[in-house]
């Protein structure tokens, strides 16, 4: 039996799985989409420039940012800042965007993306759009963005390195990065996962057993979700493994997650009958 593709609902039981290897049904976010989603989340920005003194030395500094529609970081930096003077001399730079790590968590398990390119002051006729993009990512700049010694800079991205934690890393094509859009349900995911695990453990197990083919599973929990599907962790006699199932249709809101979850359960029950 071939794996369902895209967002088609799974209406038949999958063939039993003989190992705990990951079961991946449907579409997953691309690394470009994962990186764009990460960049709009709870993150730190670290700007790397080429130092004037000692000349040529990498210079790292804190750099709040916003991302415009085309995927270019927008910085709001003072002429008095050392990194600004570095950019005036050499526009090459990189921006490390890293997830905020909770106390006690492993920082290497967190996601990060490094954008490499060149920076230039935003043209006057593009300033309002760039200002809006920066403030969307860094609202704290509202009180100084119009000061005379601050300017908006745009980083033209030429290379992207994405690391999604242990075991997931890639170079992302700049055009793909520019066209990708952040996951619309990233802000709703944590609450939805908590609700599913607290109140719908039996339904998650049913989905893992029937839709994912993990007929040996005795328990399952939600690991994550995105616009395309739901990730489960199934535990059973054959071991512990990931089971990913697609939503019947792509989701964009919290209510749509609830509706899609109900439809997955209905499909699994119908296939089991």
What does the pLDDT read at residue 36? 97
What mean pLDDT comes out for the span 236-265?
Answer: 96
Domains 23-29+185-272 and 32-179 share a fold: no
* The pLDDT of residue 248: 95
User: Smallest Cα–Cα separation from 211: which of 265, 273, 258?
Assistant: 265
Over residues 28-39, the mean pLDDT reads 97
Percent of the chain predicted with pLDDT > 70: 95
Q: Which residues are 170's β-sheet partners?
A: 162
Dihedral over alpha carbons 83, 48, 37, 78 (to 10 degrees): 0
Whole-structure pTM over 0.75, yes or no? yes
Alpha-helical runs (H) found in 138-253: 174-179, 186-199, 201-206
Q: What is the pLDDT of residue 16?
A: 81
Choices 2.60.120.330, 3.40.50.80, 2.30.110.10, 2.60.40.10: CATH for 32-179: 2.30.110.10
Q: Give the pLDDT confidence score for residue 272 in this predicted structure.
A: 86
Which residues, 6+ apart, have CB-to-CB distance to 55 below 8 Å? none
Q: Give the chain's mean pLDDT.
A: 93
pLDDT at site 11: 59
Over residues 71-96, mean pLDDT: 98
What is the third-level CATH fold of 23-29+185-272?
Split barrel-like (3.20.180)
Segments making up each domain of the chain, as ranges: 23-29+185-272, 32-179
Residue 8: pLDDT above 80? no
Q: What is the pLDDT of residues 201-248, one digit of tens each?
A: 999 999 999 999 999 999 999 999 999 999 999 999 989 999 999 999
């Amino acid at each position: 039996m071939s794996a369902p593709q895209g967002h088609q609902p799974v209406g038949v039981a999958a063939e039993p799985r003989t190992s705990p290897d990951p079961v991946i049904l449907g579409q997953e976010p691309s690394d470009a989409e994962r990186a764009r989603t990460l960049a709009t989340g709870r993150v730190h920005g670290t700007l790397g420039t080429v130092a004037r003194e000692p000349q040529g030395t990498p210079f790292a500094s804190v750099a709040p940012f916003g991302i415009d529609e085309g995927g270019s970081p927008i910085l709001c930096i003072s002429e008095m800042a050392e990194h600004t003077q570095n950019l005036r001399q050499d526009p090459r730079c990189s921006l490390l965007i890293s997830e905020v790590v909770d106390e006690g968590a492993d920082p290497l398990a967190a996601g990060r993306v490094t954008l490499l390119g060149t920076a230039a002051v935003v043209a006057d006729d593009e300033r309002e759009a760039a200002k809006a993009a920066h403030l969307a990512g860094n609202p704290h700049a509202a009180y100084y963005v119009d000061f005379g010694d601050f300017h908006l800079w745009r980083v033209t991205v030429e290379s992207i390195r994405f690391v999604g934690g242990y075991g997931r890393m890639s170079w992302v094509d700049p055009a793909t990065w520019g066209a990708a859009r952040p996951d619309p349900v990233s802000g709703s995911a944590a609450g939805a996962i908590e609700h599913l695990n607290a109140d719908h453990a039996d339904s998650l197990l049913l989905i893992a057993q029937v839709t994912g083919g993990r007929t040996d599973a005795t328990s399952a929990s939600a690991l994550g979700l995105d616009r395309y599907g739901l990730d489960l962790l199934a535990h059973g006699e054959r071991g512990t493994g990931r089971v990913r199932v697609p939503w019947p249709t792509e989701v964009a809101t919290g209510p749509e997650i609830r509706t899609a979850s109900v439809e997955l359960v209905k499909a699994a029950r119908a296939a089991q009958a």
